[in-house]
Amino acid sequence: MSKDLHSILNQQVANLLVIYTKLHHYHWYVTGDMFLELHEKFENLYNTTASYYDAMAERLLMIGGKPVSSLKGSLEIATIKEEYTIPPSKEMLHSVVHDLNILVESLSQAVDYANKANDDVTADLCVGASRDLQKEVWLLKSLLA
């Protein structure tokens, strides 16, 4: 299997852990007039990212890679940044849209690497994740309109 595919999947694992943690942070600390809607939305999103986090790590193991499995290691290779503050709800939304777009873009790269490696299963996993996350971006952007 391609070393590049291992690296890009490992970055997905790291990014998914970071966004999972960030979504919990936002879920716990969201306030304001959109509280109920965002509290539920952030919970749904962290559940979605948790399932992809596990699926990407397991797929990486299946193809001979070694997924990052520590917070420190994840933060070192993630392109999504963790959150230290409690921003207003609209900023939370903008941040999540930004992070989901990072995931979608890197999933597209993973599909390219998987196709070059003739790994249809990994490509399919990444396409499915991208499809679901693109829909979430669309839904979140509607809240910002």
CATH code for the part of the protein at 3-144: 1.20.1260.10
Contact 23, 118 (CB under 8 A): no
pLDDT reported for residue 2: 54
Per-residue three-class SS string for 84-118: CCCCCHHHHHHHHHHHHHHHHHHHHHHHHHHHHCC
**Is-contact 110 2, C-beta < 8 A?**
no
pLDDT per position as a tens digit, 6-39: 999 999 999 999 999 999 999 999 999 999 999 9
- Domain ranges for the chain: 3-144
Q: What is the mean pLDDT of the chain?
A: 95
* Interatomic CA distance for residues 95 and 135, integer angstroms: 16
Span 71-124, pLDDT tens digits: 999 999 999 999 999 999 999 999 999 999 999 999 999 999 999 999 999 999
Query: Are the CB atoms for 9 and 107 separated by under 8 Å?
Result: no
In the predicted structure, residue 145 carries a pLDDT above the cut 90: no
